[in-house]
Amino acid sequence: MSGDHDKDLSGLRLGTASPATMTTDEAAAELASLAEAIAFHDQRYHGDDAPVVTDADYDALVARNGELEAVFPALVRSDSPSLRVGTPAADGFGKIRHARPMLSLNNGFTDEDIIDFGTRIRRFLSLGEDDELAFTAEPKIDGLSLSLRYEKGRLTQAATRGDGTEGEDVTANVRGVSAIPATLAGSPPDILEVRGELYMDRRDFIALNAAQKQADGKIFANPRNAAAGSLRQKDASVTASRNLQFFAYALGEVSTPLASTHADSLAALKSFGFSVNELSTRCTDSDALLAHYAKIGSQRADLGYDIDGVVYKVDRHDYQERLGQVARAPRWALAHKFPAEQAETVLNAIDIQVGRTGALTPVARLAPVTVGGVVVSNATLHNEDEIRRKDIRVGDRVVIQRAGDVIPQVVRVLTEMRQPDSAEFVFPDSCPECHAPAIRPEGEAVRRCTNALDCPAQRLEWLKHFVSRDAFDIEGLGARQIDQFVTLGWVSRPADIFRLAARRDDMVGLDGYGDISINNLLAAIEARRSIGFERVIFALGIRQIGQATARLLALHYETPDALMAATAPDADQDTSAAELVEIDQIGDSMVADFMGFFTREGNRDAVSDLFAQISIIPPERPADDSPVSGKTIVFTGTLTGMSRAEAKARAEGLGAKVSGSVSAKTNFLVAGADAGSKARKAAALGVTVLSEEEWLTMIGGN
């Protein structure tokens, strides 16, 4: 089978091998699969409010990615899930760029994770055991994150999280939410950005679904989806009619500091008229955090609103500033997640679905069962190794797990209840769509159809990816329309989309297409004839080439002509590949997939056809706005003014690249006390060596 659902799951996998026993190629292959899967699920959760895997399943993927990156730091990808937040802002609303990024949170699952969190903070800040390190602990509301901007006490704009940098402009709809003050009490700063969670309590959720059912409207799966769907109404009066609530929990841009601690900032927000969760409390050690986690967990069912964990934040703001962030998440906060819910059911069948990159993904079809108030009938099985490891068979009684409104995972098989005639599941070695051989490359867990874009399932998913939000993002042209146009034979390659104007008269006869909708669609297509080079490269759907890597490639090639020349069959491809590998954050396996895409004549023809239809906007190069922007820095020896981790974070925040070893490409070696072999190697290579004081002077710090 193929379709949207198999795209949802293509690339989803969870390796079982210990990272310590894996080869570099094996780790690189798994990191590529994880990046692809997590990016898709970020989009489904943050952008579409329609996730297709459980929170626990998603968290396991992110945790596995972190484990591999810790053991193989040189393999951290430019599109790594650890380097991004959420997903780009959705269609239908304007976009707002956040004055300060809205970050995601790293997760903890065990008591040991929480204890390690405190230990890492102390080490980073160079605190002694007797130095107080306080945290706040507050419920993690399962809702929709918002940023509210107030100027001189009046609400001026409201935005969703989006991708953490840019969100949807939902100001008009938020003005109708009575739980969000339009004007603030007291004496707030002239500029005050308040971050918090928009949610719907369970009683109102039940009432809304009852009303929706009576009106034959959309039934929401859970309160989070109800809140998100209510906010994203084209008619703001619909949003106003829904009883939405809001808890304030953090600050964005502030013209004047509210307080020196997070706890006092929450108190200030409450005085301005915001609701602040009453279960938030201040804790001074890990034992107190864990005790509060247990207390909130025991009250979870009676709260009246959904939570999925407890968030711990370093209380002092100056400590937060020093700790900073690691790509997508602050170092000073951690989400302690609750365990997922489980239930038993029967696995009736295993379907194999084909994704955009040819991945064959097994999906369990379950006897419907209610878990946490939601009926589920599908589960991801990841890959053939997962089926073999858990010995999953058709007809088995299985334990499934979910934490949200999504497709669950199979936790284990109840083998004691297995039927005597049960047979092992045989994973196919040919594509169920085109019957071409499906091979499993060495070191990978995913079996793939070898027919590339000649496979109808892969071609369909490729075209859907091409028009997706992060790619060409053509308003009014989504997966459903691509399905329709491919079936009609109007679209078989991306360039055909830009020829749809010739089909205008034919469109008139299609159900749901009137003059206005046809004009809007064709205008949206025309508007995308001019587009950024990085979007085009990402839209090509090349395996392992995510948004960040696409931007690096766009900066490298600058023009379509240069790209096509470097990847041409008669070009020196070894030299071209070597040049790409030299780009920071691009590895051998990425280059192999990228160059391999262009070695297929059909792919090159399709890309050349596309380039003839569009106008490319060259990528903007990053500004050199600091003395070390673009420079490679190595730290060695003991630093006295800050920990090594803090120094690295400062350097990266200024646009520098921090390396662990000295080479001819190193620009500066910062040598602390007891500097050894690295300092000697730097001197031999003629690398500039800076003392800690000279380094701080260079970057304008002390």
The 10s digit of each residue's pLDDT in 612-669 is 999 999 887 554 678 888 788 888 888 877 777 788 777 877 877 777 778 888 899 9
Whether residue 403 has pLDDT greater than 60: no
> 532-617 has which fold?
DNA polymerase; domain 1 (1.10.150)
Q: How confident is the model at residue 11 (pLDDT cuts 50, 70, 90)?
A: very low
CB count within 10 Å of CB 561 equals: 11
Whether residue 685 has pLDDT greater than 50: yes
The region of weakest confidence among 122-136, 310-324, 593-607, 641-655 is: 641-655
- Whether the Cβ atoms of residue 379 and residue 409 lie closer than 8 Å to each other: yes
Whether residue 404 has pLDDT greater than 60: no
- Whether the Cβ atoms of residue 202 and residue 306 lie closer than 8 Å to each other: yes
Residues 468-484, mean pLDDT to the nearest whole number: 89
Residues 317-341, mean pLDDT to the nearest whole number: 89
Compare 60 and 159 and report the one with higher pLDDT.
159
Residues 688-698, mean pLDDT to the nearest whole number: 89
The pLDDT value recorded for residue 50 is: 65
The pLDDT value recorded for residue 83 is: 58
- Whether the Cβ atoms of residue 34 and residue 65 lie closer than 8 Å to each other: yes
Residues 136-145, mean pLDDT to the nearest whole number: 95
Query: Helices 111-125 and 286-299 sit at what angle, rounded to 10 degrees?
Result: 140
Q: Do the first three CATH levels of 95-326 and 532-617 match, i.e. the same topology?
A: no
Classify 534 as helix, strand or coil: helix
Domain range summary for the chain, segments of one domain joined by +: 4-84+340-439, 95-326, 532-617, 632-698
Annotation says 681 is catalytic:
no
The pLDDT value recorded for residue 37 is: 82
Whether residue 3 has pLDDT greater than 50: no
CB count within 10 Å of CB 292 equals: 23
The pLDDT value recorded for residue 45 is: 64
Query: Measured between alpha carbons, how far is 80 from 62 in angstroms, rounded to an integer?
Result: 10
The pLDDT value recorded for residue 664 is: 84
- Whether the Cβ atoms of residue 590 and residue 539 lie closer than 8 Å to each other: no
Whether residue 696 has pLDDT greater than 90: no
The pLDDT value recorded for residue 7 is: 40
Q: Does domain 4-84+340-439 have CATH number 2.40.50.140?
A: yes
Whether residue 690 has pLDDT greater than 80: yes
Among 140, 337, 631, 657, the active-site one is 140
Q: The domain 632-698: what is its CATH number? A: 3.40.50.10190
Residue closest to 596 by CA, chosen among 615, 580, 617: 580
Average confidence score pLDDT of the chain: 87
The 10s digit of each residue's pLDDT in 199-224 is 999 999 999 999 988 888 888 878 99
The pLDDT value recorded for residue 139 is: 97
Q: How confident is the model at residue 4 (pLDDT cuts 50, 70, 90)?
A: very low
Indicate the pTM of the whole model. 0.54
Residues 482-502, mean pLDDT to the nearest whole number: 95
Percentage, residues of the chain above pLDDT 90: 52
| CATH among 2.60.40.1930, 3.40.50.460, 3.40.50.300, 3.30.470.30 for 95-326 | 3.30.470.30
Percentage, residues of the chain above pLDDT 70: 91
